[in-house]
Amino acid sequence: MKEDENNELIERGISAESVHETAARLLFMAIKWAKNLPSFTLLCFRDQVILLEEGWCDLFLLSVFQWSLPMEKCPLLNSSLPLSANAVRYLQDLFMRIRNYNIDQGEFACLKALVLFRPETRGLKDFAHVEELQDQAQQMLARHAVASGPTRFGRLLLLLPLLRTVGSDKIEKVFFEATFGNMSIEKLICKMYKR
């Protein structure tokens, strides 16, 4: 997503339809990002799909935060369904926290790699290789973040578990159900990934 498109969304007011369209684009971009990682494509196809199915929500949320979509003005979060008021407040607070950290593009790339390469994911054929890739992503983030201070690396890592507080089923319902109907996000990811 281009920055001028993001600014246009903010200026003209955000409709639920434009949020759904933007969410679909961001999900597609997150899948494409993973697909273009040489280390990811070296994994067997089955492991690639399993990792995407497990990590799609975190990748999507990081993309939302990366492109600074205005969560506080999101009409989908202003309605009561299907998220509770606490979940909405939590997402908005997380967005503000991430915005205040001024995470740069390199840090976002490392964070995305960390949520993608999860060796504890069930069903992986080559979890040892996935663990190596996760270690590499952590080392890259540590090297990159140290320039901003000794505690930045730890603070960035502590953001990752917070992404999972609002369940992926709720994120799917809020952002994707209107666009993709009853198609499961896993089927959608497989279709997107095979393109």
Q: Are 38 and 120 in contact (CB under 8 A)?
A: no
Supply the range of the domain harboring residue 122.
Answer: 3-194
Q: Which tokens in the block code for residue 97? A: 């926290």
Q: How is residue 127 written in tokens? A: 């979890």
List helix spans (H) across the chain. 3-12, 16-35, 38-41, 45-66, 75-78, 85-101, 105-116, 127-145, 152-163, 168-175, 177-180, 185-194
Check residues 128 and 81 and name the one with the higher pLDDT: 128
Residues 6 or more apart whose CB falls under 8 angstroms from that of 165 comprise 90, 94
- The CATH number of the domain holding residue 64 is 1.10.565.10
- In which band, very low, low, confident or very high, does the pLDDT at 6 lie, cut at 50, 70 and 90? very low
Give the relative orientation of helices 127-145 and 105-116 as an angle to the nearest 10 degrees. 160
- Give percent of the chain above pLDDT 70: 83
Mean pLDDT of 129-155: 95
**Structural domains in the chain (count):** 1
